[in-house]
Amino acid sequence: MFDILTNNWGLLSTGWGYTIMCSVLALIGSCVLGTLFALMEISPYKWVATIGRVYVEVVRNIPLLVITMVFYLVIPKYVVAINGFTAGTIGLTIYTSAFIAETVRAGIEAIAKGQMEGARSVGLTYSQAMTQIVFPQAIKIIIPPLGNQFINLVKNSSVLAFTSGFDLMYQGKIIASTTLDTFSSYLAVGLLYLVLTLPLSYLMRYLEKRWQTA
Protein backbone atom coordinates (compact mmCIF):
# COMPACT_ATOMS: atom_id res chain seq x y z
CA MET A 1 0.00 0.00 0.00
CA PHE A 2 2.68 2.50 1.01
CA ASP A 3 4.97 1.29 -1.78
CA ILE A 4 2.23 2.23 -4.21
CA LEU A 5 2.18 5.76 -2.78
CA THR A 6 5.95 6.23 -2.74
CA ASN A 7 6.80 4.42 -6.00
CA ASN A 8 4.19 6.28 -7.99
CA TRP A 9 4.25 9.59 -6.19
CA GLY A 10 5.18 11.42 -9.42
CA LEU A 11 2.06 10.23 -11.21
CA LEU A 12 -0.18 10.60 -8.18
CA SER A 13 0.93 14.16 -7.39
CA THR A 14 0.46 15.22 -11.01
CA GLY A 15 -2.99 13.68 -10.91
CA TRP A 16 -3.72 15.39 -7.65
CA GLY A 17 -2.70 18.73 -9.12
CA TYR A 18 -5.06 18.26 -12.07
CA THR A 19 -7.87 17.20 -9.76
CA ILE A 20 -7.40 20.29 -7.58
CA MET A 21 -7.15 22.57 -10.61
CA CYS A 22 -10.28 21.11 -12.17
CA SER A 23 -12.16 21.29 -8.85
CA VAL A 24 -11.26 24.91 -8.19
CA LEU A 25 -12.13 26.02 -11.72
CA ALA A 26 -15.40 24.07 -11.71
CA LEU A 27 -16.25 25.32 -8.22
CA ILE A 28 -15.89 28.98 -9.19
CA GLY A 29 -17.57 28.44 -12.54
CA SER A 30 -20.51 26.50 -11.17
CA CYS A 31 -21.08 29.00 -8.33
CA VAL A 32 -21.26 31.87 -10.80
CA LEU A 33 -23.41 29.96 -13.30
CA GLY A 34 -25.55 28.43 -10.56
CA THR A 35 -26.34 31.77 -8.92
CA LEU A 36 -27.08 33.27 -12.31
CA PHE A 37 -29.55 30.55 -13.19
CA ALA A 38 -31.12 30.67 -9.71
CA LEU A 39 -31.76 34.39 -10.18
CA MET A 40 -33.22 33.65 -13.61
CA GLU A 41 -35.52 31.03 -12.13
CA ILE A 42 -37.04 33.49 -9.64
CA SER A 43 -37.06 36.37 -12.08
CA PRO A 44 -40.34 38.32 -12.29
CA TYR A 45 -40.07 38.04 -16.09
CA LYS A 46 -41.84 34.84 -17.16
CA TRP A 47 -39.64 34.05 -20.17
CA VAL A 48 -36.41 34.52 -18.20
CA ALA A 49 -37.73 32.22 -15.47
CA THR A 50 -38.66 29.62 -18.09
CA ILE A 51 -35.16 29.61 -19.59
CA GLY A 52 -33.67 29.14 -16.13
CA ARG A 53 -36.12 26.37 -15.27
CA VAL A 54 -35.50 24.46 -18.52
CA TYR A 55 -31.71 24.70 -18.14
CA VAL A 56 -31.78 23.37 -14.58
CA GLU A 57 -34.21 20.54 -15.33
CA VAL A 58 -32.40 19.37 -18.46
CA VAL A 59 -28.90 19.52 -17.03
CA ARG A 60 -29.54 17.95 -13.65
CA ASN A 61 -31.45 15.04 -15.17
CA ILE A 62 -28.65 13.93 -17.50
CA PRO A 63 -25.74 11.84 -16.20
CA LEU A 64 -22.51 13.77 -15.73
CA LEU A 65 -20.65 11.31 -17.95
CA VAL A 66 -22.98 12.01 -20.87
CA ILE A 67 -22.55 15.78 -20.57
CA THR A 68 -18.79 15.38 -20.36
CA MET A 69 -18.62 13.03 -23.35
CA VAL A 70 -20.56 15.54 -25.44
CA PHE A 71 -17.86 18.10 -24.73
CA TYR A 72 -15.07 15.58 -25.29
CA LEU A 73 -16.29 13.84 -28.43
CA VAL A 74 -18.97 15.92 -30.13
CA ILE A 75 -17.92 19.55 -29.62
CA PRO A 76 -14.33 19.00 -30.92
CA LYS A 77 -15.66 17.29 -34.04
CA TYR A 78 -18.13 20.01 -35.06
CA VAL A 79 -17.34 23.20 -33.14
CA VAL A 80 -13.97 23.84 -31.56
CA ALA A 81 -11.00 21.68 -30.53
CA ILE A 82 -10.89 21.25 -26.76
CA ASN A 83 -8.78 18.71 -24.90
CA GLY A 84 -9.88 16.17 -22.31
CA PHE A 85 -9.13 18.33 -19.29
CA THR A 86 -11.08 21.31 -20.61
CA ALA A 87 -13.96 19.14 -21.75
CA GLY A 88 -14.16 17.44 -18.36
CA THR A 89 -13.99 20.71 -16.44
CA ILE A 90 -16.67 22.34 -18.57
CA GLY A 91 -18.91 19.30 -18.23
CA LEU A 92 -18.46 19.24 -14.46
CA THR A 93 -19.10 22.99 -14.19
CA ILE A 94 -22.34 22.80 -16.14
CA TYR A 95 -23.55 19.71 -14.34
CA THR A 96 -22.86 21.13 -10.85
CA SER A 97 -24.25 24.55 -11.73
CA ALA A 98 -27.74 23.05 -12.10
CA PHE A 99 -27.62 21.65 -8.57
CA ILE A 100 -26.19 24.86 -7.15
CA ALA A 101 -28.94 26.82 -8.92
CA GLU A 102 -31.55 24.70 -7.14
CA THR A 103 -29.81 25.18 -3.78
CA VAL A 104 -29.56 28.93 -4.20
CA ARG A 105 -33.14 29.23 -5.45
CA ALA A 106 -34.46 27.29 -2.48
CA GLY A 107 -32.42 29.49 -0.12
CA ILE A 108 -33.73 32.72 -1.60
CA GLU A 109 -37.32 31.48 -1.62
CA ALA A 110 -37.02 30.53 2.04
CA ILE A 111 -36.61 34.19 2.94
CA ALA A 112 -40.01 35.64 3.72
CA LYS A 113 -41.58 37.57 0.85
CA GLY A 114 -42.06 40.51 3.23
CA GLN A 115 -38.32 41.17 3.20
CA MET A 116 -38.35 41.85 -0.54
CA GLU A 117 -41.60 43.79 -0.38
CA GLY A 118 -40.38 45.88 2.54
CA ALA A 119 -37.11 46.65 0.82
CA ARG A 120 -38.93 47.65 -2.38
CA SER A 121 -41.36 49.87 -0.46
CA VAL A 122 -38.56 51.94 1.05
CA GLY A 123 -37.36 52.68 -2.46
CA LEU A 124 -34.69 50.05 -3.19
CA THR A 125 -34.59 48.65 -6.72
CA TYR A 126 -35.14 44.92 -7.32
CA SER A 127 -31.40 44.24 -7.69
CA GLN A 128 -30.53 46.35 -4.65
CA ALA A 129 -33.10 44.56 -2.55
CA MET A 130 -31.83 41.21 -3.79
CA THR A 131 -28.13 41.85 -3.19
CA GLN A 132 -28.40 43.85 0.05
CA ILE A 133 -31.43 42.44 1.87
CA VAL A 134 -32.46 39.00 0.59
CA PHE A 135 -29.17 37.42 -0.49
CA PRO A 136 -27.20 38.04 2.75
CA GLN A 137 -29.96 36.27 4.68
CA ALA A 138 -30.27 33.48 2.15
CA ILE A 139 -26.54 32.69 2.32
CA LYS A 140 -26.94 31.21 5.81
CA ILE A 141 -29.55 28.79 4.54
CA ILE A 142 -27.60 27.99 1.41
CA ILE A 143 -24.24 27.17 3.02
CA PRO A 144 -24.92 23.65 4.40
CA PRO A 145 -26.37 22.15 1.20
CA LEU A 146 -23.77 24.03 -0.81
CA GLY A 147 -21.07 22.22 1.15
CA ASN A 148 -22.56 18.96 -0.05
CA GLN A 149 -22.38 20.15 -3.64
CA PHE A 150 -18.72 21.15 -3.26
CA ILE A 151 -17.75 17.77 -1.88
CA ASN A 152 -19.67 16.04 -4.67
CA LEU A 153 -17.93 18.27 -7.16
CA VAL A 154 -14.45 17.24 -5.99
CA LYS A 155 -15.38 13.57 -6.18
CA ASN A 156 -17.18 14.00 -9.50
CA SER A 157 -13.99 15.46 -10.98
CA SER A 158 -12.97 11.81 -11.38
CA VAL A 159 -14.98 11.99 -14.60
CA LEU A 160 -11.75 13.36 -16.10
CA ALA A 161 -10.45 9.79 -16.03
CA PHE A 162 -12.82 9.05 -18.92
CA THR A 163 -11.64 11.94 -21.06
CA SER A 164 -7.93 11.39 -20.35
CA GLY A 165 -7.77 14.58 -18.30
CA PHE A 166 -4.72 13.38 -16.30
CA ASP A 167 -6.53 13.65 -12.94
CA LEU A 168 -6.06 11.50 -9.85
CA MET A 169 -8.45 8.76 -10.98
CA TYR A 170 -6.81 8.62 -14.43
CA GLN A 171 -3.36 8.16 -12.89
CA GLY A 172 -4.77 5.63 -10.44
CA LYS A 173 -6.07 3.55 -13.35
CA ILE A 174 -2.66 3.68 -15.02
CA ILE A 175 -0.91 2.64 -11.81
CA ALA A 176 -3.42 -0.16 -11.30
CA SER A 177 -2.82 -1.49 -14.79
CA THR A 178 0.98 -1.27 -14.65
CA THR A 179 1.50 -2.63 -11.13
CA LEU A 180 -1.51 -4.96 -11.42
CA ASP A 181 -2.11 -4.21 -7.75
CA THR A 182 -5.62 -2.91 -8.32
CA PHE A 183 -6.70 -2.82 -4.69
CA SER A 184 -3.80 -0.78 -3.30
CA SER A 185 -3.82 1.58 -6.27
CA TYR A 186 -7.46 2.55 -5.81
CA LEU A 187 -7.01 2.67 -2.04
CA ALA A 188 -4.20 5.20 -2.49
CA VAL A 189 -6.40 7.22 -4.84
CA GLY A 190 -9.25 7.10 -2.35
CA LEU A 191 -6.98 8.37 0.42
CA LEU A 192 -5.80 11.31 -1.67
CA TYR A 193 -9.42 12.25 -2.41
CA LEU A 194 -10.13 12.11 1.33
CA VAL A 195 -7.25 14.50 1.98
CA LEU A 196 -9.05 16.94 -0.31
CA THR A 197 -12.65 16.43 0.77
CA LEU A 198 -12.27 16.12 4.54
CA PRO A 199 -10.81 19.62 5.07
CA LEU A 200 -13.43 20.98 2.70
CA SER A 201 -16.08 19.25 4.75
CA TYR A 202 -14.74 20.79 7.96
CA LEU A 203 -14.44 24.21 6.39
CA MET A 204 -18.09 24.14 5.36
CA ARG A 205 -19.10 23.01 8.84
CA TYR A 206 -17.08 25.86 10.35
CA LEU A 207 -18.67 28.40 8.03
CA GLU A 208 -22.10 27.00 8.84
CA LYS A 209 -21.53 27.55 12.56
CA ARG A 210 -20.02 30.99 12.17
CA TRP A 211 -22.72 32.32 9.90
CA GLN A 212 -25.48 30.89 12.03
CA THR A 213 -24.43 32.85 15.13
CA ALA A 214 -23.60 36.02 13.24
From candidates 76, 111, 152, 200, binder to another protein by CB under 8 A: 76
Q: Which of 125, 131, 132, 178 binds another protein (CB under 8 A)?
A: 178
Q: Is 84 helix (H, G, I), strand (E, B) or coil?
A: helix
Q: Which of 113, 180, 213, 214 binds another protein (CB under 8 A)?
A: 180
Contact between 148 and another protein per CB under 8 A: no
Query: Which residue number, 31 or 175, has a Cβ lying nearer to another protein?
Result: 175
Contacting residue, 43, 137, 152, 164, with another protein by CB under 8 A: 164
Q: Is 74 in the site for another protein (CB under 8 A)?
A: yes
Q: Which of 15, 52, 84, 147 binds another protein (CB under 8 A)?
A: 84
204 Cβ neighbours under 8 A, 6+ residues apart: 143, 144, 146, 147, 150, 151
Q: To 10 degrees, the CA torsion angle through 36, 54, 161, 144?
A: 50
User: Are 153 and 196 within 8 A, CB to CB?
Assistant: no
Contact 105, 134 (CB under 8 A): no
Which residue's CB is nearer to another protein, number 47 or number 78?
78
Task: Return d(Cα 68, Cα 90) in angstroms, integer.
Answer: 7
Q: Which helix (H) or strand (E) holds 33?
A: helix 9-41
Size of the site for another protein (CB under 8 A): 19
The residue ranges that bind another protein (CB under 8 A) are 72-74, 76-77, 81, 83-84, 161-162, 164, 170, 173-174, 176-178, 180, 182
